[in-house]
Structure 1
Amino acid sequence: MTATGRSWRDALELTVQVPGDGEVRSLAHPSLVGVPEVGDEVLLNTTAWAQRLGTGGYALVVAVPDRLPPDPAGPGHLVKARYTPMQVSVQGVDEQDTEHHAAIAEADDLGGMPVVVADLHSALPAALIGVFATDPDLRVAYVMTDGGALVAGFSRTLHTLARSLAGVVTVGQAFGGDLEAVTLHSGLLAAKHVLGADVTIVTQGPGNLGTGTPWGFSGVAAGEACNAVSVLGGEPIGALRISDADPRPRHRGVSHHSLTAFGRVALAGVTLVAPRGLGSELGSQVDEDLASQPERNEVVWVDTEGLDEALQLSPVTLSTMGRGWPEERAYFLAAAAAGRYAAVQVPLPDET
C-alpha cells in the first residue's frame, strides 16, 4: 500500500501498487479488516475494479495478512453476509439479549407511518430533502436493504446525512447501520418503535444490478418492500424513477423498473407520486406511462414549488447513473415530491 485517501463512516480509500497493474484504487472497511497503513501488504479482491464499475469500482481489501484485527468478541449473534469469507457477527435490534427485544417482540404495526420506497440509493437524499422542505421537524429513518452494497459504511451519502437522520437500519444481509435487523419487516418496526420515526425511507444500498431484462434487476425488491409496509399497517409511497436524460429507452419517462416493481410486485397497492413542473412533454409521457398502472395504485401529482431550490442546496452531491443535477432534474424532483407527500401524510397523534 502506497497512500491513503478519503475516509468516512466505515471506509478508507487507499492506493495499492499491484505488479503488472500499477496503482490500483482500493477501499478498506476498517470494521472488517482493521486500518491498513502505508507500507502494508494487502490482499485485494479486484472483481469490481477490473470491470470499472461506476458505483463500486474499487479493489476491496480482504485482509492485511501481517496485521490481522483481533477476533470479534461480540455482542450479538446475528451473522450477516452469511457463509461468505467476510461474514460478520452483529447485534440485532430484534435478538433476545438487547434492550429493544421486548419492544420489537410486541410491535406488530407501523401505525400508518408513511414509508417512501425507491429502487435506487441515489433517491435517498432527494426524498429526505422533500420531507424537510415540507416539515423540518419530522424524524426520518432510513432502512437499507441488501440489493446493492451490503456495507452501510460504503455510502458517503449516509456519512454526510447522519445528522439529519433519526438513524439507519440495515436489514437482511446488509450491515453497518445504527441498528441491525434480520428482516425488512423487523427493520421497519425498529424504525418506528425504536428510532421514533415519523417517516421512513427504504432503498437498497449503493449500487444496482440490472441485466436489461424485464425481471433481472435488483430494484424489483422495491415492490416487495411496499408489500412489507402494507402488511405492517404503514402507508407505502412509491418514488418513481423518471428521466428524460437516460439514453436507454426503457428508462425514459417512467422507468420500467418503477412500472414493474410498483405495478406488478406491490400487490397491496402503493401511492405513486408524480411531480408537477416536469414540462409538458415529459409530464405527458409520465401521465401516459402511469395510465397502465393497476387500480390498486393511486397516482398523485404533487406540487413541487420550492423543491428545485431545496435540491440545489443538497448537502451531498446528487448523482444517479453517473448523471447529476440538473441533468437528471426529473429523477431527483420525483424523489423529493415523494418525500413531500410523505411529510403531509404523517398521522396526527390522535390518529395513531
Structure 2
Amino acid sequence: MIRWRKGEVVRIRREWPGAVELEVTVPEGTCRALAYPPLVGRPEPGDEVLLNTTALAMGLGTGGYAMVVAVPNRLPEDPEGPGHLVKARYTPMQATVLGADEQDSPFHELLREADSLDGMPVVVADLHSALPPILCGMRPRPRVAYVMLDGGALPAWFSMACAKLREIGWLAGVVTVGQSFGGDVEAVTTHTGLLATRHVLEADVAIVTQGPGNLGTGTRWGFSGVSAGEAVNAAAVLGGRPVAALRISEGDRRERHIGVSHHSLTAYGRVALTPAQVVVPELPGEFGERVRDQAELLAVRHELVSVPVDGLYEALLDSPVKLSTMGRGLEEDLAYFLASAAAGRHAITLLD
C-alpha cells in the first residue's frame, strides 16, 4: 500500500506558503519531493528524510511527488496552543488544528447558533482547477472565500494557486473542511465551512471545490466530484444561493467528458436535491449547441442561466496563476475555462 524510501536532501527547488519542494537522492537516483513544514519541519540540504514514494511510482499527474513523512534526525518542536480538531484522523500523519467551530475557538460563539448565509452566492465546481477561472470572471471582484473539500488533496498547502491568490488578495481566505486541513480557517463540515466564510471571513461570495487532484473510476458514481452536488445542498439549506459551474470540455479525449461532463450531470442532476442556478455559457457553433442540449437534462430541478462569454477570454489571459485542467492549458481546452469564468460572472450579478 505504501512504498517507503530513505533519501537525502540535495537542494531546495522552490517553496510557497506551507510547502517546500526538494530534490532528494534515493537508491533509484534523484526525485522531486514535497514537504509540509507545519507537519514535518523544514528539511535542509544534507538532511536524511523518510519518504512515501507511492504517488511518484504511480506517475500521478497532480501528485507525482515523493512525500516527506519525517526528518528523523531533526524533529520539529511539539505544537503549542489550542486546537482539538484532528484531521487525517487515525492515519500516521494525523494533525491537530484549531477549528473555527470548536469550543476553544474565538469564533465558537459566533458560529454556535449561526444558521444562515444571508443569501450569499456560493459557486460550486467539480475540479480545483475551476477556482482561478471562476475568480477571473468576477469583475469587479467582491470579497471571496474558498471552501476546500476533501475529495482531492487534503493539505491546502499543496495548492500553489491558493497561495498566490491569497497573497494578491483575490481570496480573502481558504477554509478547509472535512479531512482537509491547512486553510486560514478550519471547519468540521462543509456547512460550518460555508458559515465561516460568511461570518468569520465576511465574504460576499464563496467558491466550493475539492482540493487539487480528484479520484475517478470511469463508473457512474465512483468519482470524488459527487461532492459538488452535496455542496449545492449545503449552500441551499443554509440560505445561500448556489450557482453550479458546469464541467465542460472540448479537449478531453474521453467521450464521457466531452461537452458537459457526466460528473456535472450526475452531481447536479442526481446528488443535488435542492435547486441551483446552473450556468450555461453561450459557446458558439455545434459544440455550443451540444452543451445547451446536455444542460437541458438539468432543467428538471435547476434553473438554467445562459451567460455570455464575451470578454472572458481576455480576462482569463490575465490570470495571475497558471490555468491548467487535467494537463490542458487555456488554449487546449478553452471551453472548460470559459464555463468556469461564466459562473463567476453570473455570481456577482446576484450581489445586492
User: If the TM-score is normalised by the length of the shorter chain, which range does it land in?
Assistant: over 0.9
Amino acid at match of 1:42: V
- Give the one of 55, 62, 80 matched to 2:62: 55
Aligned pair partner of 2:279 in 273, 277, 282 = 273
**1:180 is matched with which residue: 182, 186, 196?**
186
- Asked if structure 1 preserves the Cα contact closer than 8 Å seen for 2:148 and 2:176, the reply is yes
2:294 to 286, 289, 293: 289
Distance 1:63 1:293 in 2: 47
What SS does the corresponding residue of 1:2 show, helix, strand or coil? strand
Distance 1:69 1:244 in 2: 47
Q: Report the equivalent of 1:31.
A: 38
User: What is the deviation of 1:294?
Assistant: 4.6
Give the count of matched residue pairs.
342
Equivalent residue number for residue 233 of structure 1: 239
1:95 corresponding residue in structure 2? 102
Counterpart of 1:127 (choices 118, 126, 134) is 134
Q: Where does residue 312 of structure 2 map in the other structure?
A: 307
Asked if the contact 2:23–2:32 (Cα under 8 Å) also holds between the matched residues in 1, the reply is yes
**What runs of 5+ residues in structure 1 fail to find an aligned partner?**
none
Which residue type is aligned with residue 246 of structure 2? L
What SS does the aligned partner of 2:20 have? Answer: strand
Question: Does the aligned pair in 1 maintain the 2:280–2:295 contact within 8 Å?
Answer: no
TM superposition shift of 1:305: 2.1
After TM superposition, list the pairs within 5 Å mapping 1:299-338 onto structure 2: 299-338=304-343
Question: Counterpart of 2:226?
Answer: 220
Q: What CA distance in whole angstroms lies between the structure 2 residues aligned with 1:281 and 1:158?
A: 35
Amino acid at match of 1:140: V
Contact 1:104 1:189 in 2 (8 A): yes
**Residues 275 and 301, structure 1, Cα contact 8 Å, conserved in 2:** yes
C-alpha contact (below 8 Å) 2:307/2:346 kept by paired residues: yes
**Partner in structure 1 of residue 4 of structure 2:** none
> Any idea what SS the aligned residue of 1:292 has?
helix
- Give unmatched runs, 5+ long, in structure 2: 1-8
The corresponding residue for 2:153 is 149
Task: Output the amino acid matched with 1:144.
Answer: M
Partners in 2 of 1:335 and 1:198 — Cα distance?
18
Deviation at 1:74, TM superposition (A): 2.9
- The letter of the residue matching 1:171 is V
For residues 97 and 173 of structure 1, what CA distance do their matches in structure 2 show?
A: 19
| In structure 2, distance between residues paired with 1:155 and 1:74 | 26
Q: Does the 8 Å contact 2:87/2:94 carry over to 1?
A: yes
Matches of 1:291 and 1:192, distance apart in 2: 32
1:344 to 334, 337, 349: 349
1:110-130 deviations in Å (ceiling 9; x for gaps) = 111110000100000000111
Structure 1 residue 188: deviation in Å? Answer: 0.2
When the two chains are superposed, the root-mean-square deviation of aligned CA atoms in Å is 0.9
- Cα displacement (A) at 1:25: 1.1
**How big is each residue's C-alpha offset from its partner over 1:270-314, in whole Å with a ceiling of 9 and x where there is no partner?**
2110111x2211111001111222522111110122111010010
Pairwise CA distance, 1:98: 1.7
1:291 aligns to what SS in structure 2? Answer: helix
Match of 1:75 in 2: 82
Residue correspondence of structure 1 range 6-21 to structure 2 within 5 A: 6-19=14-27, 21=28
Offset from partner CA, 1:21-64 (integer Å, 9 cap, x none): 10011100000000101111100000100011000100000001
**What percentage of residue pairs aligned between the two structures are identical?**
64
- Cα pair 1:74 1:89 within 8 Å, conserved: no
Residue type of the partner of 1:17? T
Which residue identity does 2:266 align to in structure 1?
Answer: T
One-letter amino acid matched to 2:255? P
The answer as to 2:250 corresponding to 1:260 is: no
Aligned partners of 1:74 and 1:90 also within 8 Å: no
Shift of 1:75: 1.7
* Cα deviation digits, residues 56-107 of structure 1 (max 9, x gap): 1000000011001112223211111110010110001011122111111121
Amino acid at match of 1:327: E
CA distance in 1, matches of 2:206, 2:18: 23
Q: Is the 8 A contact 1:116 1:238 kept in 2?
A: yes
Find the aligned partners of 1:96 and 1:207 in 2 and give their Cα distance. 32
The equivalent residue for 1:139 is: 143
Could you tell me the TM-score, scaled by structure 1's length? 0.96
For 2:162, the equivalent position in structure 1 comes to: 158
Give the counterpart of 1:202 among 196, 199, 208: 208
